[in-house]
């Protein structure tokens, strides 16, 4: 099995976070290497080409497309306002004129003398990219964006819905095994990132949307509820663009699973701190996990681009978590790493490791079925 996906989720108090801030298409970058930026500061901007509206002007005039240019009153590149005349035929002694009007305000993109089509492009839509986190610009990709780097607390989730939001961390009452239902949510959670629990009910989530909660970080969620929430099933784990009203991050998986103690403790300690979270998940080559980032703004952010060390495999003594039945969600430490393949109950022959689980059990399980918890 490839090692690409075995790296565990990062759950750490101190981490050098680098964020690529890129425009979807070419544009202008407003910052330079070394600049200190705030999370809400715009670092790059551009304008997306506006929507395109084709109209068959030759047919509207009732002429052969080949002669269209002769009757056009505007040319490629000209800007027009809605209902402005684009083309007209002279008619007969001022009568029987026919004309074609612009259906939208914009510019003329092209005029076709084969199909008779005139393509209008509406006004461009401005796009801005902010810094997302407080930090320092360590690299500028000309025309595209920059890389912002900062020392920060970093917690990666396993699956998320919704895009980037920022807000204050608000912990709910109760422990890591709490079920987040509407009773836990209060009016002053509006605009905040609510953290806690092992599971959020559909009702709880709907209540949070009503209240205007910015984000929710919890242990688990029912796979069924996604369909209920979005109106479609997420068949392939590529998310981030959902219009949910908030950003949801689950740290453990689908079902009712206690949030890992380390994660829970770390987030508990950040009550009231401003966090940047992103639900975008992409489980494919080039994996993207949802994340909670809280920058340590009191520390001096280095202007040097930090080069992360190559990931290492699991070794004896590491803390790991089971990610497949029957050990799902259980945490333990690696006791040994046998070299030989072993047959599991399912008769599948796999590479294994021996784990001493926190509840005192020892077990042998496939290496692919654990993830290391980085600290």
Partner 1 sequence: MTARWLTLLFLLALASPAFADSAPSDAANSDDDDSSVIGVGNDSAGDDDDSAAGLEAPPGLMEAAAVAEGSMADVVKVPAPTELTVTAPKHNSGLNLDLSWTPHPDVEAARFTVARAESPDGPWEMRVEDLTPDITTYTDKVAEDPLNKGVRDQYYYRVLALPRGLRAQADEANLTKPADRFAFLDAHANSTPAIAGEPKGVWLNTSVGFLLMALIVLTVGGLMFWFTDRARKGKEVFIRRIPGIDAIEEGIGRATEMGKPVLYVPGIDELQDIQTIASVLILGEVSKKVAEYQSDIIVTCCIPLVREVADEVVKAGYYQAGYPDAYRSTNTRFISSEQFAFCAGTNGIILREKPATNIYLGRFFAESLILAETGFVNKSIQIAGTAEATQLPFFIAACDYTLIGEELFAVSAYLSGDPRLVSSLKASDWIKVFCVASIIVGTLAGSFGMDFVVQLFTAAGH
Partner 2 sequence: MSIDPSTIRSVLATDCGSTTTKAVLFELTDDGWRQTYRGEAPTTVEAPFEDVTRGVLNAAMEVQELSGRTLVDGDQIKTPDQGDRDGVDLYISTSSAGGGLQLVVGGVVRSMTAESAMRAALGAGAIVMDTFATNDKRKPHEQIERIRQLRPDMILLAGGINGGTVKHVVAIAEMIAAARPRTRLGGGFNLPIIYGGNSAVRPQIEERLKDLSDLSMVENVRPIMEEENLGPARDKIHDLFMEHVMAQAPGYDKLMDWADVPIMPTPAAVGMIIQTIAKQRNINVVGVDIGGATTDVFSVFDDAFNRTVSANLGMSYSISNVLAEAGLESILRWVPFPIDEKGLRNRIGNKMIRPTTIPETLEELQVEQAIAREALRLAFIQHKEFAVALRGVQKERTIADAFRQSGSGETLVKMLKLDLIVGSGGVLSHAPRRVQSMRMMIDSFAPEGITDIAVDSIFMTPHLGVFSSVHAEAATTVFEKDCLIYLGSCISPAGEINEDKPVMRVQMKLPGGGSMDETLGFGELRLIEASREDELKGTFTPLQKQLDLGAGPGKPVQQVVRGGVCGIALDTRGRPGVQVPMDERRVPTLTRWVEEMGEYP
Shortest CB 91 distance to partner 1, Å: 18
Shortest CB 59 distance to partner 1, Å: 3
Joined tokens for residue 194: 């609510």
Nearer to partner 2, 73 or 348 (CB): 348
Among 5, 128, 203, 261, binds partner 2 (CB under 8 A): 5
Cα–Cα distances (Å) from 103 to 50, 55, 107, 148, in that order, read 14, 8, 11, 43
Q: Is 113 in the site for partner 1 (CB under 8 A)?
A: no
**Residue 69 binds which of partner 2, partner 1, none (CB < 5-8 A, kind-dependent):** none
Q: Which range, of 94-102, 127-135, 169-177, 253-261, touches partner 2 by CB under 8 A?
A: 253-261
Q: What is the DSSP letter of 61?
A: H
Angstrom distance (rounded) from CA 183 to CA 289: 29
Q: Is 60 in the site for partner 1 (CB under 8 A)?
A: yes
Q: Is 324 in the site for partner 2 (CB under 8 A)?
A: yes
**Residue 368 binds which of partner 2, partner 1, none (CB < 5-8 A, kind-dependent):** partner 2
Of residues 61 through 90, those in contact with partner 1 by CB under 8 A are 62
Strands 52-56 and 117-122: antiparallel
Nearer to partner 1, 79 or 98 (CB): 98
| Helix locations, 99-255, DSSP H | 202-211, 223-230
Shortest CB 110 distance to partner 2, Å: 6
Nearer to partner 1, 111 or 352 (CB): 111
Of residues 199 through 238, those in contact with partner 2 by CB under 8 A are 222-224, 233-237
The alpha carbon of residue 250 and the mean position of all alpha carbons in its chain are separated, in whole angstroms, by 13
Angstrom distance (rounded) from CA 215 to CA 278: 9
Q: Is 46 in the site for partner 2 (CB under 8 A)?
A: no
Q: Is 115 in the site for partner 2 (CB under 8 A)?
A: yes
Angstrom distance (rounded) from CA 193 to CA 202: 17
Q: Is 125 in the site for partner 2 (CB under 8 A)?
A: no
Angstrom distance (rounded) from CA 33 to CA 136: 8
Place of tokens 């917690």: 155
Shortest CB 74 distance to partner 2, Å: 17
Q: Which range, of 54-62, 265-273, 285-293, 297-305, touches partner 1 by CB under 8 A?
A: 54-62
As to burial, measured by CB atoms within 10 angstroms (0-12 exposed, 13-18 middle, 19+ buried), residue 4 is exposed
Shortest CB 210 distance to partner 2, Å: 25
Residue 208 neighbours by CB under 8 Å, 6+ apart: 185, 189, 194, 216, 246
Strand-pairing partners, residue 166, are 276
3-class DSSP state of 28: strand
**Residue 60 binds which of partner 2, partner 1, none (CB < 5-8 A, kind-dependent):** partner 1
Angstrom distance (rounded) from CA 53 to CA 104: 8
Strand-pairing partners, residue 371, are 321
Q: Which range, of 41-49, 59-67, 77-85, 121-129, touches partner 1 by CB under 8 A?
A: 59-67
∠ CA 249-242-123 to the nearest 5 degrees?
140
Length of the chain: 375
**Which residues are near partner 1 by CB under 8 A?**
56, 59-60, 62
**Which residues are near partner 2 by CB under 8 A?**
1-6, 25, 49, 51-54, 65, 109-110, 112, 114-115, 117, 119, 121, 158-159, 222-224, 233-237, 253-255, 281, 283-286, 308, 310-311, 323-328, 343-350, 365-366, 368-369, 371
């Amino acid at each position: 099995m490839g090692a690409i996906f075995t790296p565990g989720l990062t759950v750490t108090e101190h981490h050098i976070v680098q964020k690529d801030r890129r425009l979807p298409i070419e544009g202008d970058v407003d910052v330079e290497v070394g600049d200190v930026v705030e999370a809400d500061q715009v670092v790059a901007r551009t304008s997306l080409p506006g929507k395109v509206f084709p109209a068959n002007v030759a047919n509207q005039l009732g002429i052969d497309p080949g002669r269209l240019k002769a009757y056009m009153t505007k040319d490629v590149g000209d800007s027009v306002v809605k209902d402005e005349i684009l083309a007209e035929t002279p008619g007969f002694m001022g009568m029987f004129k026919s004309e074609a009007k612009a259906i939208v305000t914009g510019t003329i993109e092209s005029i076709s003398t084969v199909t008779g089509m005139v393509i209008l492009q509406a006004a461009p839509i401005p796009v801005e990219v902010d810094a997302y986190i407080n930090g320092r610009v360590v690299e500028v990709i000309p025309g595209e964006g920059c890389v912002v780097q900062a020392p920060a607390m970093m917690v990666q989730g396993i699956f998320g819905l919704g895009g980037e939001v920022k807000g204050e961390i608000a912990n709910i009452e109760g422990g890591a095994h709490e079920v987040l239902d509407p009773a836990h949510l209060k009016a002053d959670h509006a605009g905040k990132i609510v953290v806690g629990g092992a599971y959020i009910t559909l009702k709880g989530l709907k209540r949070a949307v009503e209240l205007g909660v910015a984000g929710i970080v919890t242990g688990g969620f029912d796979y069924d509820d996604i369909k209920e929430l979005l109106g479609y099933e997420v068949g392939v784990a590529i998310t981030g663009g959902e219009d949910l009203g908030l950003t949801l991050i689950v740290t453990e998986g689908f079902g009712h699973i206690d949030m890992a103690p380390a994660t829970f403790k770390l987030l508990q300690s950040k009550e009231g701190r401003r966090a940047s979270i992103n639900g975008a998940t992409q489980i494919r080559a080039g994996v993207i996990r949802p994340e909670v980032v809280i920058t340590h703004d009191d520390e001096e952010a280095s202007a040097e681009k930090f080069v992360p060390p190559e990931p290492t495999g699991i070794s004896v003594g590491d803390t790991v978590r089971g990610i497949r039945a029957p050990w799902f969600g259980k945490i333990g430490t690696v006791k040994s790493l046998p070299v030989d393949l072993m047959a599991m109950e399912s008769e599948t022959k796999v590479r294994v490791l021996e784990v001493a689980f926190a509840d005192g059990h020892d077990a042998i399980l496939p290496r692919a079925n654990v993830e290391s918890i980085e600290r």
